[in-house]
Every structure is written in structure tokens, then in C-alpha cells.
Amino acid sequence: MPELPEVETVLQALRPHLVNDKFTEINTYVNKLRSPLILSDVQGLLNQPIENLWRRAKYIVLKLKNGYGLIIHLGMTGSWRLESMSVDRQKHDHAEFYLSSGLVLRYNDPRRFGQIVVFEPDCDLIKHKLFVNLGPEPLTDDFSNLWLKRVCKNKKKPIKSLIMDNKNVVGVGNIYASESLFRSGINPLLAGGAISNIRLKRLTRAIKDILRDAIKAGGTTIKDYSSLNGEEGYFYRELMVYGKAGDTCSKCNRGIIRQAYQSGRSTFYCPVCQR
């Protein structure tokens, strides 16, 4: 599933092409993705300048000058292509947005777990049901070692589960949680409340650094993810533990990377480096 760096990469690729452009026609070819897909009859989306795009957690928000807009989630396999109108639609293209620039933006999603939700001018996005329970953005000052200390206080829940909970901090998915815990030397199975303040400060810094590094690399392409028009993300070259079960740790050259399961998700760690 695309995580924060992948969504940020897609956002940065889309923004220069879309801002100040207009949707002249919108077509949909399924009635539902993860939620109902109702776009074709929304006249407020048409022939209005696209004012801005930004990211909240793993969502992309697109706002038009008239206050209408879209909230977009890529789900497991969602991707976008920006191409000439003469290019044929592909299998699993579920929505297309014709632009006044003469191009068409197409949304492709084989597993159909993504979302494209319309909001209207009177919508308070802070209170929107998709956003209201979200925690702080990890790359802002709102996410600090003091915040993480409060999150972990007296918690018996494993630290990896705590930092992957969007109510505590958004966008730290499985790959980047594993890598951040490795970089900070913390065992992912350790209870959050058992970790010292000094180590939590190290983890806070590691999460921020890992996410920034991944954004610079265009995200991580392992299976399904690609950015605009099929561009891969190259952070997979920097992975130290994720997906490396059975390998010798490249940091200590002694530990064998282990794989565990937490809440149905794979967790990777070095038993020597991570205590």
C-alpha cells in the first residue's frame, strides 16, 4: 500500500500539471471503489480553475477555486496517468478527468480499494469524517518527542503498532515503521511504555529522517506502487531490514534479520541491533 512518501511523491508530480488547469469533462466506469464513485453529475467540478493540491496523511486533497474539490486515496493499487486524449483507456481505468490543457488524467486501480470523494464549498475539511480522527503529520513540529512520549506513556502495546496508528501519527506505514525502528535501535515488539525518553527522541528523529529520505527517492516500489505515469520509487535500495528476513544484518554483520507478525502485518528487525 502506498505510504506517506509515495503519496507525497504522487502529489508533487501532479501539482505542476494541474494547478490553474480545469476539468472540462469527467467520466467514471465503475459505481464504487472503496466508497461510492459519484463524479460525473457534479457540475461544480467542471470548468473551474484548480487552485491547489496538498496532502493530509495518505490522502491527496484537490481544491477548485469555487470551493468544490476531491479527496483522493490510492488504496492498495491506485495510480494516475497524465496522457494525450488520443491514448486509449486501459484495463482498470475507473475514472478519467479531461483537462483544458488538452490532456486527460486517468485513475487506474486493479483492486479498487482507492477512494475519490467529492467535497462541497461549505465543507469544513478539518471536521471531515476522513480527517477528524487523524493524528499529527510526522514531518511537522506537531509530531515531536514530547508527543511520542505522551502516546507511549504506560502503554503495553508494541511500539511498532503505536507508530502505525493514524490516531497517534499519520502516514508511518509498515515499511517505514520497520526502517525507523531499525535506525533508532528499538525492537518493534517492545511495549511503548517500556521505552526511555532518550530512545523515543531517537525514534522521533529517525521517523522524520526516513520519511524525508524516502520522499527524495520517490518512495518505495516493491510490488504495485508507481508515481505519475509509472515512475518507480527507489528507496527500496536503501532498505535495511524490510523484506530481508534470513539475511545477515548489513550494519552489525552478526544478527540475522527476523520476521514477526503483528496485527497481521510483517515486521522485520535485527535482534542484535534492536533491543
pLDDT of residue 40: 66
The predicted model gives 12-31 an average pLDDT of 96
Examine the domain organization and report whether 10 and 105 are in the same domain.
yes
Q: Are residues 46 and 17 in the same domain?
A: yes
* Residue 133 placed within a domain: no
Question: Minimum mean pLDDT among 38-42, 150-154, 159-163: which range?
Answer: 38-42
HSE on the CB side for 269, CA within 13 Å? Answer: 25
Instruction: Assess whether 167 and 117 both reside in one domain.
Output: no
Q: Which candidate in 15, 89, 149, 265 is catalytic?
A: 265
Per the structure, the complete domain to which residue 237 belongs is given by 145-269
41 has a pLDDT exceeding 90: no
Looking at the structure, tell me whether residues 168 and 260 fall in a common domain: yes
> Domain of 86: which CATH number?
3.20.190.10
Q: Is 82 a member of any domain?
A: yes
Q: Is residue 138 part of a domain?
A: no
Asked if 73 contacts 57 with a C-beta cutoff of 8 angstroms, the reply is no
pLDDT in tens, 179-232: 999 999 999 999 999 999 999 999 999 999 999 999 999 998 776 666 787 788
Residue 232 belongs to a domain with what CATH number?
Answer: 1.10.8.50
Q: Which of 2, 5, 158, 188 is catalytic?
A: 2
Q: Is 265 a catalytic residue?
A: yes
The CA distance from 23 to 47, in Å, is: 6
Q: Which residue, 4, 30, 45, is CA-closest to 215?
A: 4
Q: Is residue 158 domain-shared with residue 250, that is, in the same domain?
A: yes
User: Is 3 part of the annotated catalytic residue set?
Assistant: yes
From 74, 97, 127, give the residue that closes a domain: 127
Is the model's pTM score more than 0.85? yes
| Catalytic, out of 58, 63, 160, 258 | 58
Q: Quick check: is 2 catalytic? A: yes
